[in-house]
């Protein structure tokens, strides 16, 4: 039986962000008493929290995330332990267990 595992991180202030990116901000910007409704604003960079990088991120691809079929986000996963890496590069040793169409998960310890 296949199972679906939710890998999403909770979005909170002061969560880890990509070096050089602005901190995550979550704040109340409208109140019921003053504005007649309650609203919150979230400011987060594209690389904050759990996210998916598309080919466009590092190549000249013109494919946007919404153009990738949903089925591509389900499949066999491959976990790479990169906790001790300052810069995450593909290493030749990964070729032994990362196969075509695998979903690659990076274990960064965040």
Q: What is the pLDDT of residues 31-53, one digit of tens each?
A: 999 999 999 999 998 888 888 88
The span from the CA of 76 to the CA of 94, in Å, is 15
- Give the domain ranges of the chain: 11-49, 52-110
Task: Indicate the pLDDT class of residue 23, thresholds 50, 70 and 90.
Answer: very high
pLDDT at residue 93 in the model: 84
Q: How many CA atoms within 13 Å lie on the side-chain side of 54? A: 12
SS3 label, residue 110: coil
pLDDT greater than 90 at residue 96: no
pLDDT greater than 90 at residue 27: yes
């Amino acid at each position: 039986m296949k199972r679906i595992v939710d890998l999403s991180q909770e979005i909170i202030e002061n969560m880890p962000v990509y070096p050089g990116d602005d901190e995550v901000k979550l704040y109340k910007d409208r109140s019921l008493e003053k504005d007649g409704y309650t609203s919150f604003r979230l400011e987060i960079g594209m690389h904050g929290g759990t996210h998916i990088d598309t080919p466009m991120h590092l190549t000249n691809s013109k494919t946007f995330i919404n153009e990738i079929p949903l089925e591509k986000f389900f499949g066999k996963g491959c976990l790479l332990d990169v906790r001790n890496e300052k810069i995450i590069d593909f290493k030749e040793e990964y070729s032994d267990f990362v196969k075509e169409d695998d979903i690659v998960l990076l274990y960064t310890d965040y």
